[in-house]
């Protein structure tokens, strides 16, 4: 059973629009939750890292939120650009497994003009 | 550019063969991680080395092995290859001995195709 589930699986939006990606996790306890952006065929790049005590963190047009009580996180992208087209991966640092990263399957975002 | 290099970029080989993937971490990073990303699947953690020693193990098959050398570069050895081993293999590096709050910087990956 996947311990980190993301939705939607894929999403198409128009350039300039906002969108929100969801991440639900069952990993517990955890020390931090990360969001990565992965362009096709390339390595993931970190967007945000939040500890369990943080509720929100921003990185430019990207804003991540975390609700540790409901075990949910979201990534909000503002004023989308064509270059935002990528896979967005939610990752939980699972303390139970010796601080190993547990990856979600990702949400594939396509921004079209 | 993350500063992590991986070679080769592409590798095509036959079932039953053995291959070696190489990774050079960012300057100053002592931790190296290996990940596998199969088609339409998320990244799977395989193994971590810190300063030459194995630090953590994930879903790594017995047919796979890795090591980190004194100059901190790492190699992932895949043997008795099967069709299902076809995937992107990523290396990442970090200052962190564990997987705490330190950033992990990913390399460009090696695409392995087993025919």
Q: Which range is most confident: A47-51, B34-38, B73-77, B95-99?
A: B73-77
Q: Is the pLDDT of residue A76 over 70?
A: yes
**What confidence score (pLDDT) does residue B6 get?**
97
Is any Cβ of chain B less than 8 angstroms from the Cβ of A42?
yes
Point out the residue among A45, A100, A105 whose CB comes nearest to the CB of B58: A100
Pick from A56, A55, A2, A48: nearest CA to A27:
A2
Pick from A72, A88, A91: nearest CA to A80:
A88
Confidence label for A56 from pLDDT (cuts 50, 70 and 90):
very high
Q: A60 or B99: whose pLDDT is higher? A: A60
Give the single-character DSSP code of B9.
S
Place of tokens 């953590």: B56
Pick from B76, B106, B46, B96: nearest CA to A38:
B106
Q: Evaluate whether B74 touches B91 at the Cβ level (below 8 Å).
A: yes
- Least reliable range by pLDDT among A51-55, A77-81, B75-79: A51-55
Q: Is the pLDDT of residue A96 over 70?
A: no
* Two tokens, residue A12: 């198409």
Which residues in chain A have their CB less than 8 angstroms from residue B101's CB?
31-32, 49, 51
Q: Evaluate whether B18 touches B80 at the Cβ level (below 8 Å).
A: yes
3-state secondary structure of B84: helix
CA distance B69 to chain A (A): 22
What pLDDT, in 10s, does the model give residues B39-67? 777 889 899 999 999 988 888 999 999 99
What pLDDT, in 10s, does the model give residues B81-102? 999 999 999 999 998 766 667 8
d(CA B94, CA B78): 23
* Two tokens, residue B65: 């092995």
**What confidence score (pLDDT) does residue A99 get?**
63
Q: Is the pLDDT of residue A26 over 70?
A: yes
**What confidence score (pLDDT) does residue B2 get?**
87
Is any Cβ of chain B less than 8 angstroms from the Cβ of A100?
yes
CA distance A8 to chain B (A): 14
**What confidence score (pLDDT) does residue B103 get?**
84
Q: CA Rg, chain A, in Å?
A: 13
* Two tokens, residue A27: 């990993």
Q: Is the pLDDT of residue A95 over 90?
A: no
Diameter of chain B by CA atoms?
A: 40
* Two tokens, residue B43: 């990244």
């Amino acid at each position: 059973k996947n311990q980190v589930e993301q939705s939607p699986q894929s999403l198409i939006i128009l350039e300039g629009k906002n969108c929100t990606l969801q991440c639900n996790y069952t990993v517990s306890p955890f020390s931090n939750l990360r969001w990565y952006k992965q362009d096709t065929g390339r390595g993931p790049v970190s967007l945000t890292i939040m500890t369990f005590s943080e509720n929100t963190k921003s990185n430019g047009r990207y804003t991540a939120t975390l609700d540790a009580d409901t075990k949910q996180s979201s990534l909000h992208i503002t004023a989308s650009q064509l270059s935002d087209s990528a896979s967005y991966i939610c990752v939980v640092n699972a303390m139970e497994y010796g601080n190993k990263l547990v990856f979600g399957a990702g949400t594939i975002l396509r921004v079209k003009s | 550019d993350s500063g992590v290099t991986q070679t080769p970029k592409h590798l095509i080989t036959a079932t039953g063969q053995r291959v070696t993937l190489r990774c050079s971490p960012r300057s100053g990073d002592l931790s190296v991680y290996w990940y596998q990303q199969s088609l339409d699947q998320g990244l799977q953690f395989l193994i971590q080395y810190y300063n030459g020693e194995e630090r953590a193990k994930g879903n790594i098959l017995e047919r796979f092995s890795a090591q980190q050398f004194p100059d901190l570069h790492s190699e992932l050895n895949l043997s008795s290859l099967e069709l299902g081993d076809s995937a992107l293999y990523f290396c990442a590096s970090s200052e962190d001995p564990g997987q705490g709050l330190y950033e992990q910087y990913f390399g460009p990956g090696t695409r392995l195709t087993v025919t």
